Amino acid sequence: MPVSRTLSIIKPDATRRNLTGAINAAIEEAGLRIVGQKRIRLTRAQAEAFYAVHKERPFFADLVAFMSSGPVVVQVLEGEDAVARNRTVMGATDPAKAAPGTIRARFGESIEANSVHGSDSPENAAGEISFFFSSDEITG
């Protein structure tokens, strides 16, 4: 399996509770390398653009408000089958349904405040990485 990349976001519920290090440890223990990382505060417009695919969903306005409510840590993760590997360590969207030991099961507060985002396909990963990072901000 070739090395590939995915985008991860540590969401505002997790940065507020000082969980960046714990989440990074879980990511690294899953065999992924953090090859790009920055802590930023999303504007509403950035959050709307990032989640544009969800704009017809009933929770869109809440999601945009939540994602721009505090700092996030955006990350590029690298490893074998990075998208699927990260989705496995993240766990299901709803923390109550996430497998034991996953990041969302351990740290998620609700289906919305579920601590982490991860790209859901290699195609989306490429677009999401370039949404936040220039190539000189990523180094393996």
**Restricting to residues 61-100, which ones interact with ligand GDP according to CB under 6 A?**
62-63, 93
> Helical H runs in the chain?
12-16, 20-29, 44-50, 60-67, 82-90, 103-107, 122-132
Catalytic residue among 117, 118, 129, 132: 117
Specify whether 117 is catalytic.
yes
| Count of alpha carbons within 13 angstroms of residue 72, beta-carbon side | 25
Report if residue 123 touches ligand GDP, rule: CB under 6 A.
no
Contact with ligand GDP (CB under 6 A) among 9, 32, 83, 117? 117
CA 10, 20, 104, 16 dihedral sign is negative
Considering beta carbons, is residue 84 or 111 the nearer one to ligand GDP?
A: 111
Residues 99, 30: Cα–Cα separation, whole Å? 15
Tokens 């955006």 identify what position? 74
**Smallest Cα–Cα separation from 42: which of 63, 57, 59?**
63
Interaction of residue 28 with ligand GDP, rule CB under 6 A: no
Q: Choose the stretch contacting ligand GDP; rule: CB under 6 A; options: 17-25, 42-50, 72-80, 108-116.
A: 108-116
Of positions 30, 34, 111, 126, contacts ligand GDP by CB under 6 A: 111
Q: Which is nearer to ligand GDP, 25 or 59 (CB)?
A: 59
Would you tell me which residues interact with ligand GDP (CB under 6 A)?
Answer: 59, 62-63, 93, 111-112, 114, 117, 120
